[in-house]
Amino acid sequence: MVDKAMLHTTREVDPVTGVVSYNGVSRAVFTTHPIEKPYLIFQIGSADPELAVQAAKVVQQDVSGIDLNCGCPKPFSTHAGMGAALLTNPDLLCSILTALRQAMPPEITVTAKIRLLPSQEDTLKLVERIVNTGISALTVHCRTRNMREKDAAVIGRLREIVEFVDKMGKGIAVIENGDCENFEDAKRVRRVTGASSVMIARGAEANPSCFSPTPLVDVETTLMPAYFRLAKYFGHHWSLTKFCVAQFKGKRVTVTKAESTALRSTLSQGKGFEAMNDVVGTWTGEEEFKEIARAIEENPPRQRRMLPSSFVIEEGDLEESPSTEEAPSTTLVTPPNTQNPEPPTSRAPLLPKDFEKELGPPPPPALTPTPGGVQLGSL
């Protein structure tokens, strides 16, 4: 979100659904729900420390962190000095991060997302400056500004960056981004790069359950109906809903190709939610939402941050993580010397490398409920 777009919005809360909208002149420019807050990082496009801080202050109460976009290569960002243009203006980039860190309370994390620079040496110099601003985490999209999504991400360059940041000793998480589509990819990428975590973009657009070791299959009967119900309940705009749903794809097990094609054709011709009445089944979005709220309550954010044991990196694949002399505790602790101690509600993405030892077994993976299973044949 471009900083200026947030400045003149008015915040409105829907008394029935709880949806929080930041309304611009003609439409909401940002909507969220309090249930998302523990997981929600708000990304700002900015080329001005003051505007960035003002925008961050507008949304601060509804988010857990502020991220600075230093990677968008599109002219609408770069022509104004935002996004990937910041990569070649490190003074400005760092002044925005410093201003955000100073202005935000400690429980709001400040992070940055960059792309690689053409030379590794320049990338490391930039990373050093960024890390020294006091950020909590750095996401590296493993492409340069001139590379497009069809070009393979240069994941091989990340390991040196991860090790470099580790050596800086500030406990900053490095998150890999680029060409990681699912749980198995994430394991591989972490193994190869040593990154604390991964960011999945297009894979998550295609199947939001891609983070699970058992992602939803037959998205036509599982994901799509649930998404329609929720979108309608929350008053999501039909055309945006349609756009998102049209991108859903996944492995088909019981749904046939013909059924999938029929549903997508109904969707593309649909002029409103009513067009999908046969797809959504008997549940309403309110029931769906209560189910999700219950699942989150039973599996709270801190535990949800834990990765299943199958995610563990094989021994010897990574250099040993820096040992701490403290006795293992049963809760996550802020690593010593960390600049931005993780406060109780921040959900900062930093995970100690030996987190599983500290926490014991993870909770069972939450399965997405698929009530009122829909028979596509009836379409």
Ligand X SMILES: Cc1cc2nc3c(=O)[nH]c(=O)nc-3n(C[C@H](O)[C@H](O)[C@H](O)COP(=O)(O)O)c2cc1C
Residues that bind ligand X (CB under 6 A): 43, 69, 71-72, 113, 141, 149, 177-180, 200-203
Does the annotation mark 72 as catalytic?
Answer: yes
Q: Which is nearer to ligand X, 66 or 279 (CB)?
A: 66
Q: Which is nearer to ligand X, 103 or 180 (CB)?
A: 180
Kind plus residue range of the DSSP H or E element containing 232: helix 223-233
**Maximum distance among all Cα pairs of the chain, rounded to whole angstroms:** 62
Q: Which is nearer to ligand X, 52 or 180 (CB)?
A: 180
Q: How far apart are the first and last CA of the chain?
A: 38
Contact 346, 64 (CB under 8 A): yes
Shortest reach from residue 114's CB to ligand X, in Å: 9
Q: Which is nearer to ligand X, 149 or 319 (CB)?
A: 149
Provide the token pair at 125: 């110099």
Provide the token pair at 276: 């999908």
Output b/e per residue, 276-306; b: 16+ Cβ within 10 A: beebbbebebeebbeebeeebeebeeeebbb
Of 70, 72, 180, 210, the catalytic one is 72
Q: Which is nearer to ligand X, 195 or 374 (CB)?
A: 195
Shortest reach from residue 30's CB to ligand X, in Å: 12
Q: Which is nearer to ligand X, 113 or 347 (CB)?
A: 113
Shortest reach from residue 186's CB to ligand X, in Å: 10
Shortest reach from residue 63's CB to ligand X, in Å: 15
Shortest reach from residue 300's CB to ligand X, in Å: 27
Q: Is 56 helix (H, G, I), strand (E, B) or coil?
A: helix
> Locate tokens 């406060």: which residue?
343
Shortest reach from residue 71's CB to ligand X, in Å: 5
Provide the token pair at 188: 């591989």
Strand ordering across the sheet containing 109-116: 41-44, 65-70, 109-116, 137-144, 173-177, 197-199
What is the Cα–Cα distance from 157 to 328, expressed in whole angstroms? 33
Strand residues in 72-217 grouped as ranges (E)? 109-116, 137-144, 173-177, 197-199
Catalogue the active-site residues: 72
